[in-house]
Structure 1
Amino acid sequence: MAVTGIILVLFLIAHMLGNLKIFTGETAFDHYAHWLRDIGTPLLPTTWFLWIQRAVLTLAVLGHIGAATVLAMRSRAARPVRYAHRRKIHVNYAARTMRWGGVIILLFVIYHILDLTTGHLNPQGDPANPYGNVVAGFAPERWYVTLFYTLALVTLGFHLRHGAFSAFRSLGQQTPKGEQRAKIAALVFAVALVGGYLLVPFAVITGLVS
């Protein structure tokens, strides 16, 4: 869970930083989007880097889901008989909704790909104009898309907060002081990443980016 999660988080960071280039203007953003297709050339054919990246991310997602399934099965096997009386344990919202949050995020990723990668659900869907696709996708009249995007990212934030903290613990952060630092670091990271992603749709819907 920790290792596959780290791979996905590294991609989320890189993807967020790339998204923020939209604030540098249409020409710069389109140049960046087209540059992604040419990474590795002439050593690699055009778009091969993207396909390699997609393959790695797909394996990471499948591995993450597989690890979650194995952990859930082990948890049930460890206690096959239900407690007659279960003592109340303080568990935060993120931990309680970790599995469902993962399903919501997966559905959002599928929609996001169909919208801004393949263009099938985008009003413009022009591969030659990525900037225009983003502006069209988050246009004010498509407020429901921004709402869905926001809800999915908030869910991702909860998922990241709990996941990052769990990863710190799994990878050796076990002292009481270390636990508190891990909680703070996980919260700050989740808020910063979600905030970075939300800047783009809200900039479009408010007219800051048009």
Structure 2
Amino acid sequence: MAVTGLVLLGFVIVHLLGNTSVFVGPDGINAYAEKLHSLGPVVYIFRLVMLAAFAIHIIYGIQLTLENRAASPAKYAIQKRQRATFASSTMIVSGLVLLAFVIYHLLHFTVQVTDPAISAKANLDALGRPDVYLMVVKGFQKIFVSLIYVVSMVFLFLHLSHGAQSFVQTFGLTNANTLPAVNVGGKALSAILLLGYIAIPLLIVIGFVKI
């Protein structure tokens, strides 16, 4: 869980950095997308690695949840959380929501089948490149679509805010003195990623980024 979680966290950070090229304009994100596709087999190998990490993370997450429930099949008469937080107690829920979101996101911007009319495969920019900028902007101009992304990123924040701290603890890198700082650091990183990701659909919806 910890190792695959770290791999996925790295992807989330790199993916955000790439996505922010939309703020540069059409040439920014279209050039970025073209560069990725020019890597050929490297991209597909990377995708396979990420798919494997994602699958392993999901399998172990479900297994861990089932083991925890089997260890305490009967609910306590009085629920008292000593160190558990809302984020830690809903990891399986946030994880499943993110799984559904990833599937939708792939269909939306990778496979490009949710709205074929704005597909980058069907629209080229002035330089003959797939117009990813048009696809992203027109896609997020739809309030419902943007809402899906914003809500999903809130779940990502919840998942990462506990996951980052849990990763450090799993490898025995915390103690009573450093744990508070690790918790704050995990939440801070999660908040930065949340703000970075939701900034894209929100700025498009309000018209800051437009065609």
Q: Shared fold (TM-score greater than 0.5)?
A: yes
How many residues align? The count is 200
Give 2:29's aligned residue: 29
Matched letter for residue 6 of structure 1: L
Bigger drift between 158-167 and 116-125 goes to 116-125
Give 2:134's aligned residue: 132
| Mapped partners of 1:67, 1:32: distance in 2 | 34
What does 1:43-58 align with in structure 2 at a 5 Å threshold? 46=40, 48-58=41-51
Give 1:43's aligned residue: none
Alignment CA distance shift 1:207-1:85 (3 Å): closer
SS of match in other structure, 1:177: coil
Q: CA deviation at 1:174?
A: 2.9
Q: CA deviation at 1:34?
A: 0.6
Q: CA deviation at 1:86?
A: 5.0
Q: CA deviation at 1:75?
A: 2.1
Give 1:169's aligned residue: 169
| Mapped partners of 1:20, 1:83: distance in 2 | 45
* Mapped pair 1:190 → 2:190: yes
What does 1:1-210 align with in structure 2 at a 5 Å threshold? 1-39=1-39, 46=40, 48-79=41-72, 82=74, 85=77, 88-90=80-82, 91-122=84-115, 123-127=117-121, 128-139=130-141, 142-210=142-210
| Mapped partners of 1:185, 1:19: distance in 2 | 23
SS of match in other structure, 1:121: coil
- Aligned alpha-carbon RMSD (Å): 1.6
Alignment CA distance shift 1:84-1:196 (3 Å): closer
| Mapped partners of 1:72, 1:29: distance in 2 | 39
Q: CA deviation at 1:177?
A: 1.7
Matched letter for residue 202 of structure 1: L
SS of match in other structure, 1:89: coil
- Provide runs of 4+ in structure 1 moved above 3 Å: 76-80, 83-87
Alignment CA distance shift 1:84-1:153 (3 Å): closer
Structure 2 residue ranges without an equivalent (≥5): 122-129
Q: CA deviation at 1:150?
A: 0.5
Q: Deviations over 1:74-133 (max 9, x none)?
A: 3244345x3664552243211121101111111111111111111111340122111110
TM-score by structure 2 length?
Answer: 0.89
